[in-house]
């Protein structure tokens, strides 16, 4: 192993230049099931990567659309592109395990798991390789994931985990900025874009297929920690992701809720050392009482049933779960080193708020119904005039500052510590609202960072509005 160096104290670009003669191999594994609509953006970005020593495998989970034929016809001329058939729909973990086994057998130095609904920045892989090569204790890296259609909003800078196994993406829904640009240790990496050192993977083992989906990426992350490695965020490596925060509806949403609940128990039982398990026990009980109690209060009795099913499934799988604790690659003195990263509050994922075209849902400020905006928000006028009400929900933090732009020209500047109103004559082209000042969630107690609070009506008052 290379001697440990200073942790990311120099620029990654400089680091990569110094190590240009050392070009480890990276196998990018794109998991796919009927993902034709996503593959062009994904593979166009991969083939534009500045890091040359890569292979780009499509792990196909038995697709019935034209996705395999599309990749073969459009990208098959590139020797780095290969189709790996999983032989059927093996799910996220099963399909990725097929690819990882093959990549390890092929001698990969690093493996980059990637969802098909992503696109990477040209230098993302180079940044990840540089960060990994700079510190041999790093077993996995978390790139900075941003929303595909709203790249100013974060999707993930790594995964955090609570003491009861509740896990969620760090930074999700927050506005990207300097506060998120410092590498830090994280419990695990979001499976949508997970960069893994092959040596760590050989010790830790593959993804737990019995999880089906949800928290299997966290399970692998904790085992990598247990093998004596660290997991670190790498904000210089940017990945765009078509993330959806919704559970869906009906039976699908209920099954997802059940899997998340069950897999929390399984994650804790498989990975927490005995001392930590004893410490976590009262929190587990408290978490279940809160979750079930809230379900009863809300009249969502299907959630109560989901918890009961999760408890039963855990009891029935108790023996194999406990057997999974004794992994051959786990270093005894490293077991549970991630405990310093475990949260005691909150126990579950906090509510997430994501904008649409930069607009958040309606709120009431000073008796007015307005919509908060992100650092920018856009709309297409339906009439030749806009009636804009702008208010300030937190005057103690200073005046709002919003610039209104159409066709590259500033047509208004909105600023207030109270509220104001302006009527603008516009054309039919998109209008963009740029927030020159941000009200951070830490200061406002909101779920997201806001750039202002606006109500926009098209034409005369009382007509359609945003």
- Could you list the residue range(s) of the whole structural domain that residue 173 is in? 12-241
Q: Tell me how far apart the alpha carbons of residues 36 and 60 are, in angstroms, rounded to a whole number.
A: 11
Q: Tell me how far apart the alpha carbons of residues 356 and 373 are, in angstroms, rounded to a whole number.
A: 9
Q: Which of these three, 189, 210, 241, is where a domain ends?
A: 241
Query: Exposed, middle or buried by CB within 10 Å (0-12, 13-18, 19+), for 299?
Result: exposed
Token pair recorded at residue 11:
């620029």
Which residues have CB under 8 Å from 78's CB, separation 6+? 47, 56
Which residues have CB under 8 Å from 252's CB, separation 6+? none
In the chain, the percentage of residues whose pLDDT exceeds 90 is: 86
Half-sphere exposure of 434 (CA within 13 A, CB side): 11
Residue 64 lies in a domain: yes
CB 118 within 8 A of CB 195: no
Token pair recorded at residue 319:
């023996």
Residue 102 lies in a domain: yes
Q: Tell me how far apart the alpha carbons of residues 170 and 190 are, in angstroms, rounded to a whole number.
A: 10
Q: What pLDDT is attached to residue 10?
A: 34
State pLDDT tens for residues 183-237: 999 999 999 999 999 999 999 999 999 999 899 999 999 999 999 999 999 999 9
Residue 147 lies in a domain: yes
Cα-based angle 217, 158, 140 (whole degrees, multiple of 5): 65
In this structure, the answer to whether residues 378 and 313 fall within a common structural domain is no
In this structure, the answer to whether residues 228 and 126 fall within a common structural domain is yes
Confidence of residue 7 (pLDDT cuts 50, 70, 90): very low
In this structure, the answer to whether residues 23 and 131 fall within a common structural domain is yes
CB 241 within 8 A of CB 17: no
Indicate the number of domains in the chain: 3
In this structure, the answer to whether residues 281 and 264 fall within a common structural domain is yes
Strand ranges for 116-202 from DSSP E: 118-120, 138-147, 154-156, 159-161, 167-169, 193-197
State pLDDT tens for residues 415-458: 999 999 999 999 999 999 999 999 999 999 999 999 999 999 99
CA torsion sign for 207, 230, 120, 247 is positive
Residue 346 lies in a domain: no
CATH code of the domain containing 371: 2.60.120
DSSP 448: S
Helical axes 216-226 vs 250-271, angle rounded to 10°: 10
In this structure, the answer to whether residues 299 and 371 fall within a common structural domain is no
From 398, 386, 407, select the one nearest 463 (Cα to Cα).
386
Residue 349 lies in a domain: no
In this structure, the answer to whether residues 196 and 254 fall within a common structural domain is no
In this structure, the answer to whether residues 401 and 292 fall within a common structural domain is no
Token pair recorded at residue 19:
């190590």
Strand ranges for 244-367 from DSSP E: 363-365
From 188, 179, 173, 274, select the one nearest 223 (Cα to Cα).
188
CA dihedral 384, 387, 393, 394 (to 10 degrees): 80
In this structure, the answer to whether residues 271 and 417 fall within a common structural domain is no
Strand ranges for 72-206 from DSSP E: 81-85, 110-115, 118-120, 138-147, 154-156, 159-161, 167-169, 193-197
Q: Which of these three, 241, 266, 283, is where a domain ends?
A: 241
In this structure, the answer to whether residues 186 and 58 fall within a common structural domain is yes
Q: What pLDDT is attached to residue 463?
A: 55
Give SS3 for 324: coil
Residue 90 lies in a domain: yes
CATH code of the domain containing 175: 3.90.550.60
Query: Exposed, middle or buried by CB within 10 Å (0-12, 13-18, 19+), for 447?
Result: middle
Confidence of residue 326 (pLDDT cuts 50, 70, 90): low
Question: Model's pTM, two decimal places?
Answer: 0.92
CB 259 within 8 A of CB 313: no
How crowded is residue 2: how many other Cβ atoms within 10 Å of its Cβ? Answer: 10
Mean pLDDT, residues 309-334 taken together: 80
Residue 38 lies in a domain: yes
Residue 351 lies in a domain: no
In this structure, the answer to whether residues 405 and 326 fall within a common structural domain is no
Q: Which of these three, 276, 309, 341, is where a domain ends?
A: 341
Give SS3 for 363: strand
In this structure, the answer to whether residues 205 and 83 fall within a common structural domain is yes
Confidence of residue 460 (pLDDT cuts 50, 70, 90): low
State pLDDT tens for residues 121-162: 999 999 999 999 999 999 999 999 999 999 999 999 999 999
In this structure, the answer to whether residues 198 and 92 fall within a common structural domain is yes
Q: Tell me how far apart the alpha carbons of residues 439 and 459 are, in angstroms, rounded to a whole number.
A: 30
Q: What pLDDT is attached to residue 325?
A: 76
Q: What pLDDT is attached to residue 335?
A: 81
Task: Say how far residue 353 (Cα) sits from the centre of its chain.
Answer: 14
If phi over 0 gives left and psi between -120 and 50 gives alpha, with beta otherwise, what is residue 111? Answer: beta
From 290, 131, 96, select the one nearest 212 (Cα to Cα).
96
């Amino acid at each position: 192993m290379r001697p440990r160096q200073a942790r990311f104290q120099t620029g990654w670009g400089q680091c990569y230049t110094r190590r240009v003669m050392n070009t480890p191999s990276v196998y990018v594994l794109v998991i796919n099931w009927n993902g034709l609509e996503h593959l062009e953006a994904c593979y166009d970005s991969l083939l534009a990567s500045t890091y040359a020593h890569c292979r780009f495998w499509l792990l196909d989970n038995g697709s019935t659309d034209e996705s395999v034929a599309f990749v073969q016809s459009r990208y098959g001329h590139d020797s780095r592109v290969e189709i790996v058939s999983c032989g059927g729909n093996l799910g996220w973990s099963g399909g990725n395990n097929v690819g990882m086994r093959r990549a390890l057998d092929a001698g990969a130095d690093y493996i980059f798991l990637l969802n098909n609904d992503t696109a990477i920045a040209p230098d993302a892989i180079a940044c990840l390789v540089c960060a990994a090569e700079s510190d041999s204790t790093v077993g996995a890296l978390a790139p900075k994931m941003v929303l595909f259609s709203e790249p100013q909003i974060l999707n993930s800078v790594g995964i955090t985990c609570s003491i009861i196994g509740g896990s969620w993406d760090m930074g999700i829904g927050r506005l990207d900025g300097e506060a998120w640009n410092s590498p830090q240790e994280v419990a695990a990496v979001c499976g949508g874009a997970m960069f893994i050192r092959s040596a760590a993977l050989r010790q830790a083992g593959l993804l737990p297929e019995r999880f089906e989906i949800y928290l299997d990426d966290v399970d692998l992350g904790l085992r990598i920690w247990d093998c004596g490695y660290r997991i670190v965020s790498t904000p210089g490596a940017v990945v765009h992701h078509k993330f959806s925060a919704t559970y869906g509806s009906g039976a699908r949403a209920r099954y997802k809720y059940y899997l998340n609940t069950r897999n929390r128990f399984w994650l804790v039982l498989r990975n927490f050392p005995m001392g930590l398990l004893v410490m976590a026990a009262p929190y587990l009980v408290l978490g279940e009482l809160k979750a079930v109690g809230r379900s009863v209060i809300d009249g969502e009795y299907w959630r109560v049933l989901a918890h009961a099913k999760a408890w039963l499934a855990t009891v029935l799988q108790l023996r194999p779960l406990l057997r999974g604790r004794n992994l051959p690659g786990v270093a005894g003195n490293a077991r549970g080193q991630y405990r310093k990263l475990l949260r005691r509050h909150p126990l579950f994922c906090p509510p997430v708020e994501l904008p649409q075209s930069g607009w958040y849902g309606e709120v009431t400020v000073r008796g007015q119904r307005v919509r908060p905006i992100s650092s920018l928000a856009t709309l297409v006028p339906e009439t030749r005039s806009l009636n804009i009400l702008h208010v300030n929900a937190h005057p103690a933090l200073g005046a709002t500052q919003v610039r209104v732009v159409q066709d590259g020209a500033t047509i208004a500047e909105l600023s207030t510590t109270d509220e104001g109103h302006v009527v603008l004559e516009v054309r039919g082209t998109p209008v963009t609202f740029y927030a020159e000042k941000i009200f951070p969630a830490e200061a406002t107690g909101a779920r997201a960072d806001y750039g202002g609070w606006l109500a926009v009506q098209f034409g005369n008052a009382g007509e359609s509005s945003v």
